[in-house]
Amino acid sequence: MWRVAGGLAGVLSVVAATGCGSDSGTMCLRSDAGEVCAEGGDGRIEFSGSGLEPGSEVVFDNAELGPIALPVDADGSLEIDGTVGVLALFAGNEFTFAVTATDDQGAPIVGDITVST
């Protein structure tokens, strides 16, 4: 369900990245209505999100890996048919993703997330 995304022009604001979730390896970007997260560990990165605009896409762009676009489900999450986006990589590496998303109130969720595998 991943595809290469187009340009990211028109991004308006940056929301600060903060740790979230029960695992210290999880990093999230938040707006008042939604969040986009990435959790790293065991050679994998798992992407998740909630409170997002149904039918939109969340783009995770990395200079080495390129852009990854994940569709937002009808309930505003990144879970598609009970699965989430998981990227298998070499363990012990750090990756920074430029994230572009829209929450379910139309506000941008934009910024960088850095996670370790």
Torsion angle of C-alpha atoms 69, 100, 51, 20, degrees rounded to 10: 100
Q: What is the pLDDT of residue 83?
A: 52
Position 64 confidence tier, pLDDT thresholds 50, 70, 90: confident
Note the pLDDT tens digit of each residue in 72-96: 999 999 865 555 556 677 778 899 9
Output the pLDDT for position 107: 94
Any residues with CB less than 8 A from the CB of 32 and at least 6 apart, and which?
103, 105, 107
- Number of helices (H), then strands (E), belonging to the chain: the values are 0, 9
By C-alpha distance, which of 10, 7, 25 is closest to 110?
10
Question: How many residues are recorded in the chain?
Answer: 117
Band (108; pLDDT cuts 50, 70, 90): very high
- Domains identified in the chain and CATH numbers: 17-116 (2.60.40)
Q: Hey, what amino acid is at 79?
A: E
45 falls in which pLDDT band (50, 70, 90)? confident
Determine the average pLDDT of the residues in 45-67.
Answer: 92
